[in-house]
Amino acid sequence: MIRTVIYDLDDTLYDFHRVDRLAFDAMCRSCDERFGGGTERYAQAFAPSYHAINAYLPEDIKALMPEGISSATCHSRTLRIAHMLEQLELPLFPHVIELYDIYWNTILDNMEPEPYIVEVMAALKERGVRIGIGSNMTSRIQYRKLQRLGLGPYLDFVTVSEETFFDKPDPRFFDRVLLKAGCPPEECLFIGDNFELDYLGAKAVGMQALWYVGKEKPWNHVDPQERASARKLADHREVLTYLEERSFGS
């Protein structure tokens, strides 16, 4: 029996890949308008900031991070924009905050919920199933996204990796999700677009999982045998069929 359904957010509930490109381009154009040098200058300087933030963590913190696991800190666009400007020896004020707002406001203005997700969440709530979010990233912007998508009224809890410091697929992240879910892992269904982070990460702690492939992403380089064996979700409405087969929670 499934009592709780937990969704990833980015590229599962909306197309982050599309709006991120729009937001990144808008940010780089603004940098060029402020400082000159062409947009590619800023694109190249921003690209390594994700890994640079992790590299700056204290050694005792990095020792707690298994290979391949990132910290939630590296998602901070404030830190990443500041790193870009520092590397280019450009002023931070007022530009870090203004560029941050340009980036995220572009995303919020252009994001749209995936087809049928609102209807499916409403159907789950009618059947007494709890709904949660399990997402990497920093908390404030994830809450803003969920509000912008109109999904807030259907959600019982939100878990963002900033709470645990460790990104998916670290089991410490999923332990926090399970604590909020309030039921055994076998009664939880996790749904996400990333095969390794979402699907395998959830299954590793005993959850049921569905791999959302409604909009296949270039980073999902999955072994053909693993791809064939994974339980895939091409349309969010298929969640209801999956749960009907296993009986809804009450």
pLDDT digits 0-9 by tens, 75-109: 999 999 999 999 999 999 999 999 999 999 999 99
Q: Tell me the C-alpha distance between 36 and 167, whole Å.
A: 35
Query: pLDDT for 115-137, tens place per residue?
Result: 999 999 999 999 999 999 999 99
Mean pLDDT of the chain: 95
CA pair distance 18, 21, nearest whole angstrom? 6
C-alpha 203/C-alpha 189 separation (Å) is: 9
What is the C-alpha separation between 99 and 35, in angstroms, rounded?
12
Would you say residue 56 has pLDDT above 80?
yes
Q: What's the Cα-to-Cα distance from 114 to each of 108, 118, 215, 231, rounded to whole Å?
A: 14, 8, 9, 19
**Token pair belonging to 103:** 């980036």
d(CA 103, CA 30): 10
The pLDDT assigned to 15 comes to: 96
CB 45 within 8 Å of CB 84 = yes
What's the rounded mean pLDDT across residues 141-170? 97
Q: What is the pLDDT of residue 215?
A: 79
Does 185 score more than 80 pLDDT?
Answer: yes
Query: CA-CA distance, 62 to 139, in Å (whole number)?
Result: 21
Radius of gyration of the chain (CA): 19
Checking if the pLDDT of 48 tops 70, the result is yes
Question: pLDDT-derived band of residue 248, with 50, 70 and 90 as boundaries?
Answer: low
pLDDT band at 227 (very low <50, low <70, confident <90, very high): confident
Residue 249 has pLDDT above 70, yes or no: no
What residue has token string 């109109």?
Answer: 150
Q: Considering the entire predicted model, what is its pTM?
A: 0.96
Q: d(Cα 188, Cα 177) in Å, to the nearest integer?
A: 10
Residue 23 reports pLDDT greater than 90: yes
Q: Is the pLDDT of residue 247 over 80?
A: no
Q: What is the helix (H) or strand (E) element at residue 7, kind and residue range?
A: strand 4-7
Q: What is the DSSP string of 22-63?
A: HHHHHHHHHHHHHH-S-HHHHHHHHTTHHHHHHHTS-HHHHT
- Confidence band (pLDDT; 50, 70, 90) for 170? very high
Say whether pLDDT at 27 is over 60.
yes
- Return the amino acid letter for 55: A
Indicate whether 191 pLDDT > 90: yes
Q: Which whole number is the average pLDDT over 151-177?
A: 97
Is the CATH number of domain 4-15+112-246 3.40.50.1000?
yes
Beta strands in 112-202 (DSSP E): 130-135, 157-160, 188-192
pLDDT at residue number 72: 93
Asked whether residue 246 carries a pLDDT value surpassing 60, the answer given is yes
The alpha carbon dihedral of 56, 60, 61, 64 has a sign of positive
Chain-centre distance of CA 82, in angstroms? 22
- What are the sequence ranges of the domains in the chain? 4-15+112-246, 17-110
